[in-house]
């Protein structure tokens, strides 16, 4: 039985990855910060099936203990301050957790499990303004946010540990990937929740910023399959994982509201306050290498993904007995239970 250690197991990707590895017969260990141990629905779902270890990317000692205790064959570093918008308000924390946190984990693996294979969650946000032209897994990287800077730091650090210390570290450069488990402050979840609320008769419009920004959005469970496949490759790789197709925020709103029989223009308003200090106009990846080297292809397309997310929001809202016409809950608040 293989043993896997996952940081960020309470997040969208971590919880789906844990499900996938458990289905494959792995013994799964999850690193959980003490402050988040009692507040995650993902952890509540997994608690009886995974081993939980207290740890924090800001604390070298806790990561070393986690690696020693779990004795992993595979390590997946998915923990981070992962919201791009928040990184402008919390740049130091973002660099510490997302950038230096990866270095601390690499050190823990080097000291206590040097034969383990490590997956580092890199990001399409590393490309930044370079994304105006063709990009591949080697860059160039011109990040436009503190989050992107932190991810570049972790990505290059992975290469250093690979070359200098012989660690089997692979980086998955994942483009945007979504699901009903996505955090409520991400635009896909906000739009799908807004469509569900409108379908239930709530009249408060959904406020959005830049409708023209385009992203390559994929289905998160598809992407965790790619993470696992990447660590099965004999040699460590830097691999782009994407669908190859981009959609605008306007497309997202149109598809989400159409899923409940509504026109998005009747329920969305523009809000200048939601514009970012800097915005990448278009991020689209190339899935060719993932298909050729890993045999990976996405199985759920954009329209089906958004339909599933809207349905999940309706299921979250209607069991609570939300009366028609009542003031809607805040979009950035947890869904009612």
Strand, helix or coil at 18? Answer: helix
Quote the pTM value.
0.90
With contact defined as beta carbons under 8 Å apart, do 9 and 43 qualify? yes
Is 117's pLDDT higher than 90? yes
pLDDT value of residue 128: 87
pLDDT value of residue 297: 97
Is 261's pLDDT higher than 80? yes
Range scoring the smallest mean pLDDT among 222-231, 305-314, 320-329: 320-329
Q: Which of 15, 123, 124, 179 is labelled catalytic?
A: 123
pLDDT value of residue 134: 67
| Position with higher pLDDT, 63 vs 35 | 63
User: If you average pLDDT over every residue of the chain, what do you get?
Assistant: 89
- Please give the average per-residue pLDDT across 65-71, as a whole number: 98
pLDDT value of residue 133: 65
Q: Which of 147, 161, 223, 257 is labelled catalytic?
A: 147
User: Nearest to residue 199, comparing CAs of 314, 334, 319, 330?
Assistant: 314
Is 76 in the active site?
A: no
| Position with higher pLDDT, 88 vs 168 | 168
Sheet holding 238-241, edge to edge: 51-54, 27-32, 3-7, 74-77, 117-123, 168-174, 238-241
Is 204's pLDDT higher than 70? yes
Strand, helix or coil at 118? Answer: strand
- Domains in the chain, start-ordered, CATH in brackets? 3-174 (3.40.50.720), 180-216+244-284+302-320 (3.90.25.10)
Please give the sequence-ordered ranges of beta strands (E in DSSP) within the chain, or none if there are none.
Answer: 3-7, 27-32, 51-54, 74-77, 117-123, 168-174, 177-178, 206-208, 214-215, 218-219, 238-241, 247-248, 268-270, 282-283
pLDDT value of residue 139: 79
Q: How confident is the model at residue 331 (pLDDT cuts 50, 70, 90)?
A: very low
pLDDT value of residue 38: 54
d(CA 332, CA 337) in angstroms, rounded, equals 15
User: Nearest to residue 176, comparing CAs of 146, 133, 211, 214?
Assistant: 214
pLDDT value of residue 47: 78
- Please give the average per-residue pLDDT across 284-306, as a whole number: 96
pLDDT value of residue 4: 98
Q: How confident is the model at residue 132 (pLDDT cuts 50, 70, 90)?
A: low
User: Nearest to residue 9, comparing CAs of 35, 23, 24, 36?
Assistant: 36
d(CA 204, CA 327) in angstroms, rounded, equals 8
Is 123 in the active site?
A: yes
Is 147 in the active site?
A: yes
SS3 content of the chain, % helix, strand, coil (to 5): 45, 15, 40
- Listed in sequence order, the residues at least 6 apart from 128 whose beta carbon sits closer than 8 Å to its beta carbon are 141, 142, 143, 144, 145, 148, 280
Range scoring the smallest mean pLDDT among 29-43, 93-107, 169-183, 197-211: 29-43
Report residue 322 CA to chain centroid gap.
30
Q: How confident is the model at residue 272 (pLDDT cuts 50, 70, 90)?
A: confident
- Listed in sequence order, the residues at least 6 apart from 292 whose beta carbon sits closer than 8 Å to its beta carbon are none
């Amino acid at each position: 039985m293989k043993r896997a250690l996952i940081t960020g197991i309470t997040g969208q990707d971590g919880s789906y990855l844990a499900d996938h590895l458990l289905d494959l017969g792995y013994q799964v260990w999850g690193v959980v910060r003490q402050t988040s141990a009692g507040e995650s629905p993902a952890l509540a779902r997994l608690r009886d099936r995974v081993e939980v270890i207290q740890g924090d990317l800001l604390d070298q000692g806790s990561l070393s203990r986690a690696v020693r205790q779990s004795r992993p064959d595979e390590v997946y570093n998915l923990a981070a301050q992962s919201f791009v918008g928040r990184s402008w308000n919390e740049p130091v924390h973002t660099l510490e957790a997302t950038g230096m946190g990866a270095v601390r984990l690499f050190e823990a693996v080097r000291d206590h499990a040097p034969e383990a294979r490590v997956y580092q969650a890199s990001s399409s946000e590393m490309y930044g303004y370079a994304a105006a032209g063709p990009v591949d897994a080697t860059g160039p990287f011109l990040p436009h946010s503190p989050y992107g800077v932190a991810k570049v730091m972790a990505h290059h650090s992975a290469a250093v540990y690979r070359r200098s210390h012989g660690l089997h570290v692979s980086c998955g450069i994942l483009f945007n990937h979504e699901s009903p488990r996505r955090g409520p402050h991400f635009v896909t979840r906000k739009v799908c929740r807004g469509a569900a609320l409108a379908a239930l008769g709530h009249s408060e419009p959904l406020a959005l910023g830049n409708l023209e920004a385009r992203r390559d959005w994929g289905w998160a469970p598809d992407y965790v399959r790619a993470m696992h496949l990447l660590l099965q490759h004999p040699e460590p790789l830097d691999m782009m994982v994407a669908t190859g197709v981009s959609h605008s925020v306007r497309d997202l709103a149109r598809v989400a509201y159409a899923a409940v029989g509504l026109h998005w223009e009747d329920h969305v308003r523009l809000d200048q306050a939601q514009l970012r200090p800097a915005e990448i106009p278009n991020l689209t990846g190339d899935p060719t290498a993932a298909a050729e080297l890993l045999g990976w292809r996405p199985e759920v397309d954009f329209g089906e993904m958004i339909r599933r997310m809207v349905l999940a929001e309706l299921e979250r809202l209607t069991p609570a007995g939300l009366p028609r016409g009542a003031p809607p809950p805040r979009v950035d608040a947890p869904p009612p239970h």
